[in-house]
């Protein structure tokens, strides 16, 4: 093995710095809120929001926390807490207002509001808000219906000090408009944030926590009588008769405010009821403030989540949101938040304090696996837009609108994560599709995806020299060899049982053959750094493939072949490959002459998929042959394409729902049907053009295009999932396709590896 590696050259990863600006202090956003280690729902919410904003953006702003404290209480805080406010002392409000008003870097103040934070000192917060000279946003966590005259007047005065008011449900916004006469243009709806999860197997999680064989009901949160846990306990007596393996988990410590007033009286009363009903084997208290990973595990192993609040005025529930986004089928009482989310076959609503209704609903759902799966999937899709990463994007959109001059946002670049790629990969190859992040083995394998995987892992090795991942390159290369036929051509579709399917006879396989040549050429071009066994195998397959490739006339297949051939001759001469480049580039050039006009500089009368591949292939052809007309065509056509897919708001690749022809409206006016592969191809092409011509114009567009994955798109939602390492399958007009198949995941990875060659930080 050592002899095979002797030829390998060391890694030299060049990073070009696009931004070189003078160092300056960042604008400050101050958030006034309860905050950990204080144990309350809003403290957790504020910490999650802080982390999501910090993680999502880099060198854009600083968030300083002002932690609310009550009389005779204080905490040791983390570094982001720069201020504290004892809500019982008027002089503290005056001091804080002076500090915020005189700090020129403070650009915005956001107040997390909840009744009870100010312990009867509501007049003080009102005076404080009126004294601030900086723009204020108020986020309301409770909005009470049918207010008294005094409450209405208080809310109107308070919200009048704010440029924007954030609420978390449509119902809360409606109440503000109808019951409080608040101007609807000042109201923003940003749903309670939720955590991305890896959707781990339920059986495995039950085994991990010693719950194998049990049907799990659960609820969580800071324990108090408002949760009406006794309703579930009463319902259990009927449930257990038919479902004796049921175990009800009551997760969470008692609310600190309740502890101060009455100790553990409520928990003790529940335990007494459990003892009296002789159901101790069917109820388990987990009296802990669980760390997030453990909490998400418990939610994912839950068969039915029970939300039994007895407060019809509860505007929103974070526990409810976390449960649904974790995939829990849910039964809930009719708080407005639940009524909004559980509509359209997403869960079951029961009356308040009605144990008989609850037991019937539990038994109905436990006996219907299909319905539970349906509720779970519908809930995950409905709350996908509420992921904390998306919440950060939606908050920043509001912040930008209220700060003058507007914030200059720079998206953070996530670390490379191969977890999902490895999960999709078997010893045979990479699986085609996934349901959410679960590989769908029944979808089988394709040459297309394994060719992309070979390129992606070649790029990864080129950037990192991580020899422990060479086995992936070997798997994908072996799959390509498996697909090659005696005549040198490749079949594309392979079943889970490793048999070629009928699709190979029904579909045009030219594009797949072209991708294989591209992938093989890429690996051959890495012969100075890859083991010779891998390179030599790629050469054998490649030479056999191109011996019959000149009969291919499909535009994009020819472009793939040009790229593969050009990459293959980086370090060796190959007259066959060079001749194929010139032949196919000339064919594409003649298409360009036939179709292009002064206003339509393109190869076809329409723009469809993988458009950037065509000018990039012409660029490769020029570099390989030196033929000037290929260079001119490449630059002109690429410039035309960029004018069609980039706007002031970002990149909008051609929709797969409606191709764009030269007689229709501008392509990027149509939203939906945007796929990660087209964004990735654009980034690869921009990188190729920048390598050839070195222009800031190309570098800037690389970052803009990559930001599409991060949420710079018409929905302000992430396409790359940093939790799983997978990439969502598409951006539609009103939603994101949450499945994380091979094509999209590999597309993101290729884009991410490309930007490793650039330094986009502002220093």
pLDDT in tens, 480-521: 999 999 999 999 999 999 999 999 999 999 999 999 999 999
Per DSSP, the residues of 433-477 read EEETTEEEEEEEEEHHHHHHHHHHHHHHHHHH--GGGHHHHHHHH
What are residue 553's phi and psi, to 5 degrees? Answer: -125, -5
pLDDT at 8: 52
pLDDT at 658: 81
With a CB cutoff of 8 Å and minimum separation 6, the contacts of 324 are 194, 305, 330, 341, 346, 347, 379, 380, 382, 383
> What confidence tier does 645 reach under pLDDT thresholds 50, 70, 90?
very high
Q: What distance in Å separates the CA atoms of residue 584 and residue 634, rounded to the nearest whole number?
A: 14
> What confidence tier does 117 reach under pLDDT thresholds 50, 70, 90?
confident
Share of the chain above pLDDT 90, in %: 86
pLDDT in tens, 571-624: 888 899 999 999 999 999 999 999 999 999 999 999 999 999 999 999 999 999
Average pLDDT rounded to a whole number, residues 100-113: 97
16-189 and 202-386 have identical folds: yes
pLDDT at 25: 85
Q: What distance in Å separates the CA atoms of residue 517 and residue 565, rounded to the nearest whole number?
A: 7
End-to-end CA distance of the chain: 44
Q: How many CB atoms lie under 10 A from the CB of residue 403? A: 17
In contact, 151 and 126? CB cutoff 8 Å: no
Q: What distance in Å separates the CA atoms of residue 366 and residue 711, rounded to the nearest whole number?
A: 38
Q: How many CB atoms lie under 10 A from the CB of residue 360? A: 16
Average pLDDT rounded to a whole number, residues 535-541: 98
Q: Would strands 606-607 and 646-647 be described as parallel, antiparallel, or unpaired? A: unpaired
> What confidence tier does 23 reach under pLDDT thresholds 50, 70, 90?
very low
Whether pLDDT at 216 is above 70 = yes
> What confidence tier does 249 reach under pLDDT thresholds 50, 70, 90?
very high
pLDDT at 669: 61
How far, CA to CA in Å, does 169 sit from each of 158, 163, 175, 341, 752? 20, 19, 10, 9, 35
CA-based nearest residue to 114, from 34, 31, 191, 168:
34
How far, CA to CA in Å, does 686 sit from each of 58, 641, 656, 689? 23, 11, 21, 5
What are residue 302's phi and psi, to 5 degrees? Answer: -70, 135
**∠ Cα 738 741 204 (to 5°):** 80
Residue recorded with tokens 């909840």: 114
Average pLDDT rounded to a whole number, residues 193-212: 95
pLDDT at 101: 98
In contact, 233 and 280? CB cutoff 8 Å: no
- What burial letters (b/e) apply to 506-539, b meaning 16+ CB within 10 Å? eeebbbbbbbbbbbbbbbbbbbebbbeebbebbb
CA-based nearest residue to 682, from 657, 710, 707:
707
Q: What distance in Å separates the CA atoms of residue 303 and residue 203, rounded to the nearest whole number?
A: 11
Q: Identify the weakest region by mean pLDDT among 13-17, 257-261, 396-400.
A: 13-17
In contact, 291 and 299? CB cutoff 8 Å: no
How far, CA to CA in Å, does 236 sit from each of 77, 427, 744? 41, 47, 45
Residue recorded with tokens 């601030």: 132
Question: 3-state SS string over 633-670?
Answer: HHHHHHHHHHHHHEECCEECCCCCCCCEECCCCCHHHC
In contact, 748 and 423? CB cutoff 8 Å: no
Q: Is 159 exposed, middle or buried (0-12, 13-18, 19+ CB in 10 A)?
A: buried
> What confidence tier does 761 reach under pLDDT thresholds 50, 70, 90?
low
What are residue 650's phi and psi, to 5 degrees? Answer: 145, -155
Q: Identify the weakest region by mean pLDDT among 9-23, 222-236, 273-287, 737-751.
A: 9-23
Q: Identify the weakest region by mean pLDDT among 17-26, 114-123, 563-572, 591-600.
A: 17-26
Share of the chain above pLDDT 70, in %: 96
Chain-centre distance of CA 389, in angstroms? Answer: 7
Residue recorded with tokens 């990875």: 749
Residue recorded with tokens 């590696």: 5
- The H or E element spanning position 279 is none
Average pLDDT rounded to a whole number, residues 443-462: 99
In contact, 723 and 704? CB cutoff 8 Å: no
Q: What distance in Å separates the CA atoms of residue 425 and residue 431, rounded to the nearest whole number?
A: 6
pLDDT at 573: 86
Query: Between the CA atoms of 686, 687, 692 and 696, what dihedral angle is there, to the nearest 10 degrees?
Result: 70
CA-based nearest residue to 443, from 389, 500, 378, 496:
496
Q: Given 3.30.590.10, 3.40.50.720, 3.30.160.270, 3.40.50.2000, which CATH number is that of 202-386? A: 3.40.50.2000
Q: What distance in Å separates the CA atoms of residue 758 and residue 604, rounded to the nearest whole number?
A: 33
Mean pLDDT rounded to a whole number for the chain: 93
With a CB cutoff of 8 Å and minimum separation 6, the contacts of 56 are 389, 392, 393, 396, 411, 412, 710, 711
Chain-centre distance of CA 106, in angstroms? Answer: 30
Q: Is 193 exposed, middle or buried (0-12, 13-18, 19+ CB in 10 A)?
A: buried
Whether pLDDT at 257 is above 90 = no
Question: 3-state SS string over 550-619?
Answer: HHCCCHHHHHHHHHHHHHHCCCCCCHHHHHHHHHHHHHHHHHHHHHCECCECCCCCEECCCCCHHHHHHH
- CATH fold of 419-757, please? Glycosyltransferase (1.50.10)
Whether pLDDT at 132 is above 80 = yes
Ramachandran assignment for 418, one of left (phi > 0), alpha (psi -120 to 50 degrees), beta (any other): alpha
Whether pLDDT at 182 is above 90 = yes
- CATH fold of 16-189, please? Rossmann fold (3.40.50)
Whether pLDDT at 300 is above 80 = yes
Residue recorded with tokens 């720079």: 410
Q: Would strands 246-251 and 283-286 be described as parallel, antiparallel, or unpaired? A: parallel
Query: Between the CA atoms of 646, 652, 658 and 659, what dihedral angle is there, to the nearest 10 degrees?
Result: 40
CA-based nearest residue to 624, from 521, 555, 740:
521
Whether pLDDT at 157 is above 60 = yes
Q: Which two tokens stand for residue 420?
A: 């999902």
pLDDT at 324: 96
Peptide bond between residue 37 and the one before it cis (omega within 30 degrees of 0) = yes
Longest dimension (CA), the chain: 90
pLDDT in tens, 365-383: 999 999 999 999 999 999 9
CA-based nearest residue to 55, from 593, 373, 535, 415:
415
pLDDT at 763: 36
Q: Domain extents for the chain?
A: 16-189, 202-386, 419-757
Q: What distance in Å separates the CA atoms of residue 54 and residue 61, rounded to the nearest whole number?
A: 9
Whether pLDDT at 21 is above 70 = no
pTM of the model: 0.93
pLDDT at 120: 74
Radius of gyration of the chain (CA): 30
Residue recorded with tokens 């006879």: 505
In contact, 402 and 137? CB cutoff 8 Å: yes
């Amino acid at each position: 093995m050592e002899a095979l590696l002797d030829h390998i050259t060391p890694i030299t990863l060049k990073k070009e710095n696009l931004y070189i600006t003078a160092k300056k202090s960042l604008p400050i956003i101050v958030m006034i809120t309860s905050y950990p280690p204080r144990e309350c729902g809003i403290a957790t919410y504020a910490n999650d929001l802080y982390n999501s904003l910090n993680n999502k953006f880099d060198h854009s702003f600083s968030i300083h926390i002002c932690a609310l404290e009550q009389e005779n209480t204080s905490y040791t805080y983390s570094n982001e807490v720069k201020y504290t406010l004892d809500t019982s002392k008027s002089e503290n409000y005056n001091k804080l207002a002076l500090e915020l008003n005189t700090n020129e870097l403070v650009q915005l103040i956001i107040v997390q509001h909840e009744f009870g934070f100010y312990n009867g000192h509501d007049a003080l917060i009102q005076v404080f808000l009126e004294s601030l000279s900086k723009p204020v946003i108020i986020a309301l966590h409770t909005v009470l219906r049918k207010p008294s005259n005094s409450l209405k007047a208080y809310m109107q005065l308070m919200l009048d000090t704010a440029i924007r008011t954030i609420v978390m449900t449509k119902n809360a916004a409606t109440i503000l408009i109808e019951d409080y006469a608040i101007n609807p243009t000042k109201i923003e709806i940003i749903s309670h944030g939720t955590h991305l999860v890896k959707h781990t197997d339920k059986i495995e999680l039950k085994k991990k926590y010693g719950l194998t064989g049990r049907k799990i009901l659960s609820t969580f949160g800071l324990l108090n009588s408002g949760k009406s846990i006794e309703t579930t306990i009463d319902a259990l007596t009927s449930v257990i008769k038919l479902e004796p393996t049921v175990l009800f988990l009551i997760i969470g410590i008692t609310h600190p405010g309740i502890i101060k007033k009455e100790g553990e009286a409520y928990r003790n009363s529940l335990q007494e009821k459990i003892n009296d009903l002789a159901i101790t084997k069917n109820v388990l208290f987990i009296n802990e403030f669980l760390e997030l990973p453990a909490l998400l595990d418990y939610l994912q192993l839950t068969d039915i989540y029970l939300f039994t609040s007895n407060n019809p005025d509860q505007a929103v529930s974070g526990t409810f949101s976390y449960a649904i986004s974790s995939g829990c089928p849910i039964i809930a009482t009719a708080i407005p938040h639940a009524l909004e989310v559980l509509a359209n076959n997403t869960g079951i609503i029961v009356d308040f304090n009605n144990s008989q209704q609850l037991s019937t609903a539990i038994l109905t759902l436990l006996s219907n696996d299909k319905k539970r799966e349906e509720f779970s999937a519908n809930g995950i899709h409905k709350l996908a837009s509420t992921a904390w990463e998306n919440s950060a994007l939606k908050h920043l959109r509001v912040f930008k609108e209220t700060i003058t001059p507007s914030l200059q946002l720079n998206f953070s670049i996530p670390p490379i994560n191969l977890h999902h790629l490895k999960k999709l990969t078997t010893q045979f190859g990479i699986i085609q599709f996934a349901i959410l992040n679960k590989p769908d083995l029944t979808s089988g394998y394709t040459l297309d995806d394994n060719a992309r995987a070979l390129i992606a892992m070649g790029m990864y090795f080129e950037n990192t020299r991580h020899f422990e991942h060479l086995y992936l390159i070997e798997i994908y290369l072996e799959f390509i060899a498996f697909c090659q036929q005696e005549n040198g051509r490749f079949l594309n579709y392979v079943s889970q049982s490793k048999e070629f399917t009928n699709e190979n006879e029904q579909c045009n396989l030219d594009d797949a053959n072209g991708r294989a040549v591209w992938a093989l050429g890429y690996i051959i071009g890495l012969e100075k750094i890859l083991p010779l066994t891998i390179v030599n195998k790629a050469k054998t397959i490649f030479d056999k493939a191109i011996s019959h490739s000149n009969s291919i006339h499909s535009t994009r297949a020819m472009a793939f072949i040009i790229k593969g051939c050009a990459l293959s001759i980086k370090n060796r001469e190959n007259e066959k490959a060079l001749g194929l480049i010139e032949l196919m580039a000339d064919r594409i050039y003649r298409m360009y002459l036939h179709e292009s006009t002064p206003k339509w500089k393109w190869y076809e009368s329409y723009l469809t998929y993988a458009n950037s591949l065509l000018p990039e292939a012409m660029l490769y052809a020029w570099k390989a042959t030196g033929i000037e007309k290929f260079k001119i065509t490449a630059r002109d056509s690429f410039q035309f394409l960029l004018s069609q897919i980039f706007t002031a708001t970002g990149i909008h690749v051609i929709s797969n729902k409606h191709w764009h022809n030269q007689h229709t409206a501008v392509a990027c006016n149509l939203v939906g049907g945007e796929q990660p592969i087209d964004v990735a191809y654009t980034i690869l092409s921009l990188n190729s053009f920048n390598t050839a011509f070195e222009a800031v114009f190309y570098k800037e567009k690389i970052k803009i295009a990559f930001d599409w994955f991060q949420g710079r798109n018409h929905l302000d939602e992430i396409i790359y999932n940093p939790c799983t390492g997978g990439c969502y399958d598409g951006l539609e007009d009103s939603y994101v396709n949450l499945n994380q198949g091979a094509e999209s995941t590999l597309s993101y990875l290729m884009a991410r590896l490309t930007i490793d060659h650039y330094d986009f930080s502002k220093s």
